[in-house]
Amino acid sequence: LEPAIKQMHMAYVKNCKFTSPSTLPNINFMRRSLVEVLGLDHQLSYYQAFIHIRQLAIQLRNAIVNKKKDAILAVYNWQFIHSLELWGGLLGHAAGSEVLQPLIYPLVQVVLGTLRLVPTAKYFPLRFHCASILTQLSTATNTFIPVLPIYLDVLDTYNFGKKAKRLSMRPMDFSTILKLSQSQLGESAFKDSTIDEIFSGLTIYLASNSHRIGFPELVTPLIFQLKAFLGKCKQGNYCKKIKQILDKVIANQKFIETRRKSVNFGVGDKQAIQIWEAQVERDGSPLLAFYRSWKKVAETTRLKKLTNQAKMDDYAHIPNLKKNNKKIRMKMEQEKEVTGFLSNSDEDDDDIDDEERFKLKEERGKRKHKDSESDNEDESEEEEDEEEEKKSSRVGVANGAVVDDDDDDDDGEEDEVEDLKLEDMESESDLEMEDNFEGGDDSGGGDSDSD
């Protein structure tokens, strides 16, 4: 089992170096599989977890002491964060194990030190990842971990009332982001996503502690800080979400105070407290009911986002740019003009004689141009001669003449006689008949005179 665990852990660390929406499901699957295999033997799991958590703590200590870029990047990367998620998931999976329970405290200290290493706005996504690890660990192991200060510190340190430098249509997804660029910090989507993460993180953590007998004392600092935020923030959509959490927290606080007034056991009676908290959780609380309704909506939204991921990958929503046909035509002409040993511009070299082949390309083009011009002139002259011949033939036919070619005598060819038309024959017969009638008239006149 130990060699298999080592190989699985090495494969997990190698594959989680780069995280994207497409690789995140595979990474989560590998982590869950490794947690299940580690849960088969708690003694072996303790040994492996202790070694790797200690190694993570050493890297964090070097980054805190040196404060160099390379040391910080050794901590602020996906392999480090996914390793924290792995061991946090293992401790949550084996929550009832007395063997693994001592590792909860060192792991929590490493996570808290990681999110406090560089407390700037560009690492807000990394903070939210660490806060999520602590929330899941606290809920699974039934251990109190101070997660509320992490979210409240973000509300206090960043000015959400400042106007965004650039508007953005789509929100940011912090699930695959650890660090933000300077341009992203100026977008409106950054503030929207940050408020959404704070809203969801506070809701999940408070809902998991809503049945605790000490809930009123837990949320007292939270109520004061949320009211202070609402007093200085003038953004309506941000204030609406924070006000919604505040109202549910106050309602749940009053509910727990009312329920615990009738208890007859002391603070040191752990068994009685556990029974009371289990009864309150079974009956339900205002904050827990709100969390369940919110979770349904959030799960539906997440599933819609996953189903639309394939549509988002094809970039169909991005408008297509029109092609510049003029530039494409010019580029094609330039490619045709490219010369060289392997170029296709000399396709007609087989038709060129040897003397022309060894001349420059420009001179060949000139000669070709002259030849084409002379050919065009010869063709035009031939067309003009043909038109003149047609005109002369038409005139000869109209006069009843026969047109002979000039070259017939030289070539010794037979003369060509054109066929007479019917109109010409009719005209000639009419003339002959008129001559005959005129001749008859003249003869008759002579006889009468003689008579």
Give pLDDT, residue 20: 87
SS3 161: coil
Take residue 21 and report the two structure tokens written for it. Answer: 């929406």
Q: Tell me the residue type at 44.
A: L
Give pLDDT, residue 133: 93
Give pLDDT, residue 204: 93
How far apart (Å, rounded) are the C-alpha atoms in residues 357 and 296? 81
pLDDT > 90 in the chain, percent = 27
Counting as low any pLDDT under 70, the low residues of the chain are: 168-169, 305-326, 335-451
- As beta bridge partners, residue 166 has 187
Take residue 151 and report the two structure tokens written for it. Answer: 């979210």
The per-residue pLDDT for range 234-266, each reduced to its tens digit, is 888 888 889 999 999 999 999 999 988 888 888
Give pLDDT, residue 398: 42
Q: Tell me the residue type at 334.
A: Q
Maximal C-alpha separation, the chain: 182
Give pLDDT, residue 66: 87
pTM for this structure?
Answer: 0.66
Closest CA to 78 of 21, 121, 14, 11: 14
